[in-house]
Amino acid sequence: MGLEVDHAFVQAPEHRPKPTISEAGGIPLVDLSASDLPALAAAVGAACRDWGFFQVVNHGVPRELTERLAGVERDFFALPKEEKRKVKRDEVNPLGYYDTEHTKNVRDWKEVFDFVVVEPSDDLPLDGDGSLVLKNKWPQHPPGFKEACKEYAKGVEELAFKLLELIAISLDLPTKRLHGFFADQTSFIRFNYYPPCPYPDLALGVGRHKDAGALTILYQDDVGGLDVKRKPDGEWARVKPIPNSFIINVGDIIQVWSNDRYESAEHRVSVNSERERFSIPYFFNPASNVMVKPLEELVDDERPARYEEYNWGNFFKTRKDSNFKKLEVENIQISHFKKA
């Protein structure tokens, strides 16, 4: 290859991307402008059950909002490194700029910037000892950065609650059954920048993982690179970007709430040796004090609860801490709360 590879980026042989990958044909595409609510909910439910992800169009988020945010994202990552590091995250506060994130203890080929949608007025106490610090670190440049972020957050939050209602209906639950969990939400938005990578056969932009929250609403540019593990063959497939659409990932919390009726989607991000890539995921997360467990309406004698309950704030902090530096143990997963 002629290049010395930093071992921190190298995936284990069984997790390295193949030279070619098939396109993920048949991915559910949901038109949210449809007026038949039961049919719309049924389509979303089927996608959550069979795929763990889907794409949405006519979603209500103005295109100009997304394009404006994508513009300030590109401008931010184009800044000199020393300027970006003025808003660098630290071991206490997981928000801001970061360029050495790990997924499953392998370093990702990317730079990120994170900000919460609703900034708490104080540190959030956790179940047990400690607290969760979520303080936004806004850069001075580029101009209009903070304003674009806040305006986009409002639009995508409305979409998140609409999807939450459709999922509730698909599970035969009251429309707003899940809303209360998000009264003091810990949702955040991430800017992802993936520079061109000289060894795409060894590294990944983001290693294989499942999203820990309830839902992820993802914008990706036209370069693409999102790979999803298909059911039931377990093969990786590339998700082709559709203009003015969002990719929706079912997160671990929905899997637990639904008592395994719906399953979160395992996914990863491949790198490109020639082109840089940008994406913007919105992670829809509940309040830090929420105890996550199967919903009582979805538990009975024939289908008992499959998970022990866990505190979201503790889970979230532990997961973020494991992304901050390489650990010698597996980072926390919902499988650790799975009942025998």
pLDDT in tens, 261-303: 999 989 999 999 899 999 999 999 999 999 999 999 999 999 9
Helix (H) or strand (E) holding 158: helix 145-170
- What are the φ/ψ torsions at residue 114 (nearest 5 degrees)? -115, 145
Predicted confidence (pLDDT) at residue 7 exceeds the cutoff of 90:
no
- For residue 196, what pLDDT is reported? 94
User: Which region among 19-28, 46-55, 123-132 has the lowest average model confidence (pLDDT)?
Assistant: 19-28
For residue 154, count other CB atoms closer than 10 A to its CB.
11
- For residue 1, what pLDDT is reported? 39
d(CA 184, CA 123): 13
Cis check: omega of the bond before 304, within 30 degrees of 0: no
Beta bridge mates, 229: 236
- For residue 321, what pLDDT is reported? 75
pTM above 0.85, yes or no: yes
Q: Residues 162-175: what's their mean pLDDT?
A: 98
For residue 102, count other CB atoms closer than 10 A to its CB.
17
Predicted confidence (pLDDT) at residue 18 exceeds the cutoff of 90:
no
Half-sphere exposure of 325 (CA within 13 A, CB side): 6
What residue type is assigned to position 110 of the chain?
Answer: K
Predicted confidence (pLDDT) at residue 327 exceeds the cutoff of 70:
no
Domains recognised in the chain with CATH numbers? 35-337 (2.60.120.330)
265 close to 245: Cβ distance less than 8 angstroms = no
132 close to 149: Cβ distance less than 8 angstroms = no
Distances (CA, A) of 217 to 45, 86, 194, 268, 311: 16, 28, 18, 15, 23
pLDDT category of residue 3 using cuts at 50, 70 and 90: low
